[in-house]
DNA sequence: AGTAAAATATGATATATATCATATAAATGA
DNA sequence: TCATTTATATGATATATATCATATTTTACT
């Protein structure tokens, strides 16, 4: 069982507030796991009773809409934590988590984390700030969904994907989403998403290499988002 | 200066975790204020440096969308707190707050609240849970905006308004929103909102008494939301 | 490798919603 | 109280987007 001290999650998440002693306790109670692309980590409505540390890989957090379509609420990547809201609210998770790539994750049971809340104020504040950041982002996304056109949302999302996950040597977006997933991030029909990608391609905003995407005209994409 | 001990906000918000001593300190540092309908409490981008307790009345939290329209993200009513996210993140507020009715509010400076965070764990947990609730709600609203039709959102919002704010003796919704405000809650054009209200009226789902609204067929409204 | 299944693509069409225009009603202010 | 502004209402039209259909390409599987 590896130590938590050098872990990337510790470096980038609320866990950075933990001291050596706490990290040792963490290492003792955590369980590590490999998750294959497409595998479900948890499902909306489940009781998770702890949090996950994402050591490597990316997953999508989705919510089933009343009409039966999945909507991608957020992408979570290495260094981040998963399931904090549900643990604090002491409720089932309101979102499902599905791996977009092979992942390495650790599970830490709720009891352990709750102990940190009691004894380590900095940790509490870090978690609170993370969730506040999520809330701000969610408010902003809500307004985007309500007020922006699909075209604007697509442009914005493409920029976000490149900013957050970067690009390969051939300039294609590093993160690999299907058209269907991209559509369910921007909140539109798959066909509409594909159609708009074609259009963006035709007018030189992006280039399509098979199912891979290259952003060609970032200023214009920015202007139209 | 009135005491905080009996205050409705204390009863219903995170402040219920405060002990007598803390409540005395709160009462000493707070400033009370009357806010007239339509008045701005704070505006997106401002530094607020504290939180507001809503003793009476209701306000809307709005966010300016990139296309220049205001979107109502949330309604906040008596007993609730305002500005927690911004205080914790130590950032300008991301939403504007505008009174929908005459209000009574108190302002508590940040320094005081941060002291409670340090010393009162239950208070911290309460705040955290509140924000987690807001986040869950925001995620759900995001999906609604992305996936539901305007008609569905209108039905849902009408039900929410009656559930949350109740109705008058003549069965009209207690909370008084303009058509414009209702439209900016459900994320549509004012005319579309008015048109759908007319349609709901014609098919007996609701009744329009001037600008007041009566919900007539709640089961059907539920089914279509 | 070869076949079935899934993902991508594009056309045709329907539909929801926005926009523009104008009328009427209600609220506000001198 | 009257005049001016603002809110509500409804029609006509344009437009974005969803839906249905089908073709092609890619992926997965035995």
Per residue of chain A (225 residues), what is the pLDDT tens digit?
A: 578 999 999 999 999 999 999 999 999 999 999 999 999 999 999 999 999 999 999 999 999 988 889 999 999 999 999 999 999 999 999 999 999 999 999 999 999 999 999 899 999 999 999 999 999 999 999 999 999 999 999 999 999 999 999 999 999 999 999 999 999 999 999 999 999 999 999 999 999 998 999 999 999 999 998
Residue B1, pLDDT score: 57
Nearest residue to A128 via CA among A117, A118, A139: A117
**Nearest Cβ partner of B142 from A67, A145, A152?**
A145
Q: Decide if A136 and B89 are in contact by the 8 Å CB cutoff.
A: yes
Question: Are B97 and B41 spatial neighbours (Cβ–Cβ below 8 Å)?
Answer: yes
Strand-pairing partners, residue B75, are: B60
Residue A67, pLDDT score: 81
A chain contacts of residue B89, beta-carbon cutoff 8 Å: 129, 132-133, 136
Report the chain A residue with the minimal C-alpha distance to residue B223: A66
Residue B22, pLDDT score: 94
| Chain A residues 159-198 within 7 Å (CB) of strand C | 178-180, 190-191, 194-195, 197-198
Residue A113, pLDDT score: 95
User: Parallel, antiparallel, or unpaired: how do β-strands B206-209 and A40-42 relate?
Assistant: unpaired
Residue B19, pLDDT score: 93
Q: Decide if A65 and B141 are in contact by the 8 Å CB cutoff.
A: no
pLDDT, tens digit, 9 for 90 and up, residues B171-199 = 999 999 999 999 999 999 999 999 999 99
Instruction: Provide the token pair at B101.
Output: 């009715």
Separation in Å: C2 C1' and A216 CA: 38
User: Cα(first)–Cα(last) distance of chain B, in Å?
Assistant: 46
Question: Are B69 and B147 spatial neighbours (Cβ–Cβ below 8 Å)?
Answer: no
Residue B2, pLDDT score: 74
A66 touches strand D (CB under 7 A): no
Nucleotide nearest to B192 (CA to C1'): C17
Map tokens 């939290």 to a residue. Answer: B61
A211 touches strand C (CB under 7 A): yes
Which pLDDT band, with edges at 50, 70 and 90, does B167 fall under?
A: very high
pLDDT, tens digit, 9 for 90 and up, residues B49-86 = 999 999 999 999 999 988 889 999 999 999 999 999 99
For all residues of chain B together, what is the average pLDDT?
A: 95
Separation in Å: C28 C1' and B173 CA: 24
Q: Decide if B65 and A89 are in contact by the 8 Å CB cutoff.
A: no
Instruction: Provide the token pair at A77.
Output: 């990547």
| Residues B210, B119: Cα–Cα separation, whole Å | 52
Considering the entire predicted model, what is its pTM? 0.95
Question: Could you please report the per-residue DSSP string of chain A?
Answer: ---STT-HHHHHSGGGG--HHHHHHHHHH-EEEEE-TT-EEE-TT----EEEEEEE-EEEEEEE-TTS-EEEEEEEETT-EESHHHHHHTS--SSEEEESS-EEEEEEEHHHHHHHHHH-HHHHHHHHHHHHHHHHHHHHHHHHHHHS-HHHHHHHHHHHHHHHH-B-TTSBBSS---HHHHHHHHTS-HHHHHHHHHHHHHTTSEEEETTEEEE--HHHHHHH-
A210 touches strand D (CB under 7 A): yes
B37 touches strand C (CB under 7 A): no
Interface test mutation site (partner A, options B119, B135, B188, max chain A beta carbons within 10 A): B135
């Amino acid at each position: 069982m590896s130590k938590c001290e050098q872990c990337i999650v510790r470096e980038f998440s609320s866990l950075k507030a933990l001291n050596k002693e706490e990290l040792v306790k963490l290492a003792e109670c955590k369980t590590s796991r490999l998750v294959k692309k497409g595998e479900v980590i948890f499902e909306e409505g489940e009781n998770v009773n702890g949090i996950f540390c994402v050591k490597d890989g990316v997953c999508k957090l989705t919510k089933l809409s009343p009409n039966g379509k999945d909507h991608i609420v957020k992408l979570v990547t290495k260094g981040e934590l998963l399931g904090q809201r549900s643990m604090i609210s002491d409720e089932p998770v309101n979102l499902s988590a599905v791996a977009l790539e092979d992942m390495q994750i650790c599970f830490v049971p709720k009891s352990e984390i709750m102990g940190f809340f009691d004894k380590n104020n900095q940790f509490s504040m870090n978690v609170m700030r993370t969730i506040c950041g999520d809330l701000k982002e969610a408010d902003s996304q809500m307004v985007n969904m309500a007020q922006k056109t699909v075209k604007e949302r697509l442009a914005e999302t493409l920029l976000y994907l490149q900013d957050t996950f970067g690009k390969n040597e051939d300039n294609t977006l590093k993160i690999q989403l299907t058209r269907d997933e991209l559509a369910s991030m921007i909140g539109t029909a798959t066909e509409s998403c594909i159609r708009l990608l074609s259009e963006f391609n035709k007018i030189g905003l992006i280039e399509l290499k098979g199912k891979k995407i290259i952003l060609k005209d970032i200023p214009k994409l920015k202007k139209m988002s």
